[in-house]
Structure 1
């Protein structure tokens, strides 16, 4: 029998926490090197461990919690860097926020990423991050050829809100402090409670798809072309 399984539950939990700490420390070291000259090492390390704590608050399965925290921290640092260097030529950023980030916000972000093809950065978050993305949501997106590998529910944080040029909320919209210059919309698309049928999920995906296409067209119309933002030639 596996030696770890012979250990009492308390010892196995302690061993798991020690392993997570080592993974988080290695992640912090990597991100500190990546963001050298941009962020102080202390800020990067704090971001990694804060991200872990934020995900741990609602996680029921902790097996991959440390790696997910690393991805979460990396994205938050990218958002923070965008906030510091934002100008007219920056790639537009959109944040979709739902109650638990398990359905509508994930659908919207995945669709926008799919249609924008790198022209827009899309993120999703929840007021309280759920345990996992709804499997029916993943199935319906996969039917459209949309890759959803690695997606997971995330709590909304101020750094991703600050980075967003557009904040789109579903369900309750209280609790989001949108910063000056950020456009905010509330999309009235029905939720997906437990037990929702595949047909209903498909209807919600279609409804969000229509709104995402409209949003993308709005962003494309409002975003200056490179030629428009280039400095006029003199001679």
Structure 2
């Protein structure tokens, strides 16, 4: 019997599907590489982009070797000309809209490397003009329906959330405070300015706003100094995504954010 997979669709689980059926649904744009998939062998939900049995289908070599003569930049937002470099593997091609959507959904980060034929080498997203804050703001303010959709579509509903935290980075224990939460991650204040995007943390959330206490392994995806903090405060706002979280806790958070919406 062929291995079966379940897909996440707007908070509901659908399936089971075979590997071939999942790929056909992606090709038909019924699902995207940033959607979540579950199989019993892995034992947790993860993005199709990160699932080893599907990521191999997406991994490709760039059509033009970085460092070769630059080609014209893609003019159409839907031109599939962009590649992503993660853990030594090239993924793509993607169009610019897809990369912006990944940035919105925190599956691509400003410190990740990207490339297309115009660039002489791999560059961090933050170094590429097409993904500058001004450029993305201009896209957001456009009246193009395809562009507007990616800014309104949220994979995980968010809600304000008050709970104290205990944070551990395998060396030091810090205290913190949750500000907002979703099934995919949280915005938290932590009493240290020394943590960096990409770093993994263990967070223990105390009970708050109807959600029971829970533990999560997280990865820092953003860092912002708080301007209105007390002069002697070292608290910094960090955005974290959950990399390890039990399904029961994820469902509890989904229920909370849905009610708070």
TM-score bucket of the superposed structures, by smaller chain: under 0.3
Q: Which has the higher strand share?
A: 2
Q: Which has the higher helix share?
A: 1
